[in-house]
């Protein structure tokens, strides 16, 4: 994989195939129905017969939220009340988004995270299973509600989001069985769960030579040095890069200077998402690889576009594609994502991505 394999808080604990905690119900007890209880080392799902071959799974450790969508013409000013055209609750959260994206791209994907014992938790479990994600390591907690987010969607498809952490940020138990992480092809993390959890997972992945991609989205707080030490790729957007470095990111030159600062912080590679300007992969000591957007027929909702890009990049990476191919694949997936309302509902399938790659680039990755 070239340079890719080179990351007083809540703690952690999962058992394989079903999670059991003292006085905590399992998913089966709360939502009694058949779950996909598939052993990691003997996965026989159709995903393994797809272009992923017998490669190890994508493992996403992160957040799951109920996204409460309100469609508005514009954001309210301070002290102002505006009326929403519609309101709707859909499954989301950066971790769940990325997991469903990986599974819909026909790659075997596990999700490790937490939801509450409530209707929103059931909504998320249904969405994950419906998307083909293995939920063996999903934990249901009774001491915190499912995380949720208020998504203010404007008519041009742009959004502003307020996140309530809920179960994502609380009640993490003490001993996490990380066998699934150590057997992964790549691990995806975000900052909508405690840094202590991310550090624990990233450290385990590093010991097993499993690449770790950290999406910078989530809590607006300084990055722990220990977390940056154990990751292989940091993936911020422009505004997140600006916050991390306390530098301007208005031009590509400024972005490059901010990336240099990240290199000095110990991050060897950065996958920077640049919105309408595309993306760029920076590897220390190498020329940046830039990727323009794949034009979307229409932009309905940009929620989840960054998660789609990151997850699609990870899928192409674990399949052994070149860096340029990974970027193209991710750009095509993101272009399809923005054409559908909602985060998880907008995750594209592999066939659609391959068709768009063929149409736009003249070849499929």
Q: What is the CA radius of gyration of the chain?
A: 19
Q: Are 290 and 280 in contact (CB under 8 A)?
A: yes
Burial class (CB in 10 A: 0-12, 13-18, 19+), 205: buried
Rounded distance, CA 201 to CA 322, Å?
26
Crossing angle between the packed helical segments 252-264 and 238-245, to the nearest 10 degrees: 50
**Residue 163: strand pairing partners:** 149
Catalytic residue flag (residue 307): yes
Q: How far apart are CA 291 and CA 331, in angstroms?
A: 8
Across 192-246, the runs of DSSP E, i.e. the strands, are 212-218, 233-235
Set 250, 260, 307, 349: catalytic member = 307
Reduced to 3 states, what is the DSSP secondary structure of residue 319? coil
Residues 212 and 202 sit within 8 Å (Cβ to Cβ)? yes
Q: In what order do the strands lie in the sheet with 212-218?
A: 138-141, 109-116, 58-61, 186-191, 212-218, 233-235, 269-273, 279-283, 289-291
The catalytic residue positions are 307
């Amino acid at each position: 994989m070239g340079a890719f394999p080179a990351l007083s808080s809540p703690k952690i604990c999962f058992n394989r195939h079903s999670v059991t905690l003292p006085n905590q119900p399992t998913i089966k007890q709360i939502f009694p129905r058949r779950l996909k209880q598939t052993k990691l080392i003997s996965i026989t799902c159709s995903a393994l017969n797809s272009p992923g071959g017998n490669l190890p799974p994508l493992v996403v450790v992160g957040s799951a939220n109920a996204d409460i969508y309100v469609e508005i013409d514009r954001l309210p000013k301070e002290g102002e009340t505006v009326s929403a055209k519609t309101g709707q609750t859909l499954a989301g959260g950066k971790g769940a988004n990325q997991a469903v994206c990986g599974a819909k791209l026909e790659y075997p994907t596990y999700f490790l995270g937490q939801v509450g014992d409530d209707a929103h938790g059931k909504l998320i479990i249904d969405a994950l299973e419906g998307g083909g994600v293995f939920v063996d390591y999903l934990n249901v907690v009774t001491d915190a509600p499912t995380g949720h987010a208020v998504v203010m969607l404007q008519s041009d498809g742009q959004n502003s989001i307020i996140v309530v952490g809920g179960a994502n940020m609380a009640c993490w138990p003490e001993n996490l069985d990380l066998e699934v992480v150590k057997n992964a092809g790549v691990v995806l993390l975000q900052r909508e769960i405690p840094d202590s959890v991310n550090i624990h997972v990233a450290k385990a992945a590093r010991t097993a030579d499993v690449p770790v991609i950290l999406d910078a989205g989530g809590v607006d707080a300084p990055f722990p040095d220990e977390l940056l030490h154990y990751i292989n790729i940091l993936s911020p957007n422009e505004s997140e890069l600006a916050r991390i470095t306390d530098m301007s990111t208005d031009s590509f030159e400024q972005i490059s200077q901010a990336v240099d600062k990240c290199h000095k912080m110990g991050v060897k590679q950065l996958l920077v998402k640049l919105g309408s300007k595309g993306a760029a992969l920076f590897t220390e000591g190498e020329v940046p690889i830039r990727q323009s957007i794949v034009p979307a027929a229409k932009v309905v909702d940009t929620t989840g576009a960054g998660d789609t890009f990151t997850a699609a990049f990870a899928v192409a990476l674990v399949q052994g594609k070149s860096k340029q191919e990974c970027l193209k694949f991710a750009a095509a997936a993101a272009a399809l994502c923005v054409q559908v309302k909602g985060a998880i509902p907008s995750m594209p399938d592999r066939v659609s991505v391959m068709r768009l790659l063929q149409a736009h680039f003249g070849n499929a990755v």
